[in-house]
Structure 1
Amino acid sequence: MTDIHEMSADTQVALMAQGKLSAEELMRATLTRIGEVNGALNAIVALRDADELLAEARAADQVSGRGALHGLPVAVKDLADVAGLVTSEGSPVFAGKVAKTDALHVARMRAAGAIFIGKTNTPEFGLGSHTFNPVHGVTRNPYDEGLTCGGSSGGAAVALASGMVSIADGSDMMGSLRNPAGWNNIYGFRPSWGRVPAEPAGDMYLHRLSTNGPMARCPADLALLLNVIAGPDPRQPGVFAEETFSAKATDLRGKRIGWLGDWGGVWPMEPGILDLCQAALNVFEKAGCEVELVPMPFSREALWESWTTLRSWSIWADLKPLMQVPETHRQIKDTGVWEAERGAALSAEQVQQASEMRSAWFRTAAALFDRYDALAAPTAQVWPFSVDQPYPTEIAGQGMDTYHRWMELVIPASLIGLPALAVPAGFGTNGLPMGLQVIGRYGNDQALLTLAETYHHETLWPQRHPPKR
């Protein structure tokens, strides 16, 4: 029998519903696994008291009505509030701050029966794709503990890959669900904008770049969590109507995938990444898809200018209250200060021009989806790098002009809110995992789950090649 900590969330829920597994047994197995591996990996932070968790699990076993996540131990990304738990956001500014209420998607998970065991580690304020911060330290890659796990949903990805949890939430602004999924041999799904509503607070129109989404070791579990956290919120605009998602393998004959590769040769890539991702695309071809190389569909620099303008503007809006107080300003990491100050210096005309470029790219992408059912690209331009390196400063001899330029290939989806699902692409000759992002038409999230499940059925990468621990 498969060890409890290796089971999918869907299987765990089904066994509990059948009376073949209790929530208490699952919690004990979870805490045992965390005790075995978390000390070295540092994925789960602010772990709750074991006796309290076991008591909650026993109480769950006495409940007759069961939600979709009933009895599942869940650790929430440390950017989202969980009532009664610390939300540090990886920053000394918020170290020790206990949340009074649940974030919207957390409240939905709680209502579905999840038992919150703690938080998953993230970079400070979620900025950067390397999970380290001065509050909780660095999270390590379970495939090589000397290397980064990615970010900003790095703690969630490591907790999944190493079997500490079976399902996890994450968030994605600049690849934060996709990059760590690729580097940890799991799945990460950035849904369409508005699929998973954000908090109904502050501005709800201008700064739409990030979204919450599910992470898992199989697409069926992505659908399980997406069905819980997705759905309209009457307090905010621009959200999708209710929809039920599923992951079922299907006949892919006649489907067309456009391979973006290195964006016509302008995205620098470390050796081996494109070859590995093209091998992953061969799986789709064997399933009946037609894969075609797409010439550069839009200006690289126009995308980058639009993205960095709107991102910096958004980060300034988020960090402004902290930046205006000298005591908290001093506690923000250098890259956060740089980006917020850049945003503060922008003119209204620059922001308008960035929005116009974003609109032009959306129209171009919409035309691409008249030809292709999905687009594909790697999840990262580099392999996992040393935990001692804050971020890559060059790729294949090309210097990086910002702390996040090395993640440039995630912005075509992020900039215009397209759904993008990271699937494991396998392992390079260096023994390290990499991912492939499959990007869909806006609103067509279900089609990506179908593609991913068919791919998963043929590969089973997370199950066939878990970390050796």
Structure 2
Amino acid sequence: MYHPYGSACELVSKLRNGSVTVVEVMQATLDRIDALNPGLTAIVALRSRAELMEEAAAADRAEQRGALHGLPMAIKDLANVKGIASTQGSPLFKDFVPREDELFVSRLRDAGAILMGKTNTPEFGLGSHTFNPVYGATGNPFDPSRSCGGSSGGAAVALSAGLVALADGSDMMGSLRNPAGWNNVYGFRPTWGLVPAEPSGDLFLHQLATLGPMARSPEDIALLLDVMSGPDPRQPLARSRETMLPLPEVRPMRIGWLGDWGGAFPMEPGILELCTQALDAFAKLGHVVEAVAPPFEAEEIWESWITLRSYAVAAGLRAFDNNREALKDTAIWELERGLGLSGSEIQAASDQRSHWQRRAVELFQKYDALILPTAQCWPFPLDQDYPRNINGKSMDSYHRWMQVVTPVSLLGFPCLAVPAGFGAEGLPMGLQVFGSQGQDQKLLALGEQYHQVTGWPQKSPPPCG
């Protein structure tokens, strides 16, 4: 029987062996979307029920059955999916229907997934709050009047509300880590290059953003990662294939808790207390957890980050330089900053990034993993574009409130966002658990061990479920 909060690994196994039919799962999925999605706006551009049921029936008749055989999925609306409107949340693309799938989308389709539609995202993926002028805002399933985070907000909500079993995300500045934390699910930012992006545009300079899987358990994340990952001959910086399943046994680890980085990251009341309590699960599993002093100057990481981020974002938006009135204010801000940077400024930012990377490598000679919160504030009101201050400290940009994710983003190391529990108002928060380059499988195994003793997504589904 299909269960909306069940294991994706178990579900696809049943779909492959025929003990559950694709038609049954698709019917249940669409019924649940019809019931819950209107109040959340997690899934957009949904294909017709008739088309999807016909595709499901064909999957039941198929002899070849891939790793994701018959699994209904919706793709983040920053990626091109053949035959489905791919808007990037922008009115400029509201009528754009691609004729081809992006690379990772084609891998999902080849593995047997049935692509139902898209998941909502901020315009051009900018900002950790999912709203846009095409589809509107996506509400948090634990309180639809609050933000779900972003930019993979629709994906996280769809998972949290039991609308899908697996989801893709992407992450530059916490875009799957923050919504995972705010929606009581898991999100994985893999080692940079493990999941190659579409081989278009520049292939060398902008090593910041990455695609990644999201799910309701780390084992399910590993299932999806094994489909999404692997080299592409057109991309010189893609990593070789590194299979995740089966996840290995976990030996006792030494884990460092970075907290608020010695006060550098202002936090709303209750976040550090909740995250510290969540660390107890690791200690009870036999791991050594200890506080770590700030290993690097936070402001130097920030200055390096915002320079390289604006440089990368402007590269993607430069086609709109003569049509800026069609962009939102934050996109214009990034475009102007990025196009105005000098070569020496970019080099200085890259030098600083390199200094932090070398220091981080030293840290991981002592620790198997390091931990930070996934956000510095609780989910804020849906009609607010971004927080202007946190705990009395003014934010000087639209994304400063997410500074806590930048130490990981700048490194390109693997990071698993795990649920940490709930605050006083019943809203979720998460932890960023990150490791050294290439330690993706070890992190997922640690996360699955944590999941087995916490089980937050299954134990505490949102009220709408």
Query: What TM-score comes out, normalization by structure 2 length?
Result: 0.98
Aligned twin of 1:27: 26
Superposition misfits of 4+ residues, deviation over 3 angstroms: 247-252
**Contact 2:247 / 2:441 at 8 angstroms: preserved in 1?**
no
Moved more, 237-246 or 280-289: 237-246
Secondary structure, counterpart of 1:99 in structure 2: coil
Aligned twin of 2:373: 378
Secondary structure, counterpart of 1:422 in structure 2: strand
Backbone CA RMSD of aligned residues: 1.0
How many residue pairs match? The answer is 464
**Contact 1:247 / 1:450 at 8 angstroms: preserved in 2?**
no
Secondary structure, counterpart of 1:283 in structure 2: helix
AA aligned opposite 2:48: D
The counterpart of 1:362, out of the listed 353, 357, 361, is 357
Aligned twin of 1:468: 463
Aligned twin of 1:137: 136
TM-aligned CA deviation for residue 160 of structure 1: 0.4
Residue-by-residue CA offset, 1:139-172 (whole Å, 9 max, x unaligned):
0000001100000000000000001100000000
**Within 5 A, what are the aligned runs for 1:207-222?**
207-222=206-221
Residue-by-residue CA offset, 1:320-378 (whole Å, 9 max, x unaligned):
01122x3xx21110011011101111100000000000111100000000000000000
Residue-by-residue CA offset, 1:293-335 (whole Å, 9 max, x unaligned):
11111111110110000000111110001122x3xx2111001
Aligned twin of 2:54: 55
Question: 2: CA distance between counterparts of 1:340 and 1:67?
Answer: 42
Secondary structure, counterpart of 2:93 in structure 1: coil
Residue-by-residue CA offset, 1:39-96 (whole Å, 9 max, x unaligned):
0000000000000000000000111111100100000000000011111000011111
TM-aligned CA deviation for residue 251 of structure 1: 4.2
TM-aligned CA deviation for residue 448 of structure 1: 0.6
Aligned twin of 2:421: 426
Question: 2: CA distance between counterparts of 1:190 and 1:251?
Answer: 20
Secondary structure, counterpart of 2:187 in structure 1: strand
Aligned twin of 1:257: 255
What residue ranges of structure 2 are gaps of 5+ in the alignment? none
TM-aligned CA deviation for residue 5 of structure 1: 2.0
Question: 2: CA distance between counterparts of 1:416 and 1:12?
Answer: 35
AA aligned opposite 1:24: V
**Contact 2:168 / 2:212 at 8 angstroms: preserved in 1?**
yes
Aligned twin of 1:203: 202
Question: 2: CA distance between counterparts of 1:10 and 1:462?
Answer: 15
AA aligned opposite 1:336: A
Secondary structure, counterpart of 1:6 in structure 2: coil
Aligned twin of 1:238: 237
What residue ranges of structure 1 are gaps of 5+ in the alignment? none
Question: 2: CA distance between counterparts of 1:437 and 1:182?
Answer: 9
**Within 5 A, what are the aligned runs for 1:54-453?**
54-246=53-245, 248=247, 250-253=249-252, 255-324=253-322, 326=323, 329-453=324-448
Question: 2: CA distance between counterparts of 1:199 and 1:356?
Answer: 27
**Contact 1:191 / 1:420 at 8 angstroms: preserved in 2?**
yes
**Contact 1:249 / 1:453 at 8 angstroms: preserved in 2?**
no
Question: 2: CA distance between counterparts of 1:47 and 1:463?
Answer: 26
Secondary structure, counterpart of 2:370 in structure 1: strand
TM-aligned CA deviation for residue 250 of structure 1: 3.3
Question: 2: CA distance between counterparts of 1:464 and 1:246?
Answer: 24
Question: What percentage of residue pairs aligned between the two structures are identical?
Answer: 59
AA aligned opposite 1:287: L
Secondary structure, counterpart of 2:330 in structure 1: helix
Question: 2: CA distance between counterparts of 1:269 and 1:360?
Answer: 26
Question: 2: CA distance between counterparts of 1:158 and 1:288?
Answer: 32
Question: 2: CA distance between counterparts of 1:297 and 1:266?
Answer: 12
Secondary structure, counterpart of 1:51 in structure 2: helix
Question: 2: CA distance between counterparts of 1:405 and 1:126?
Answer: 16
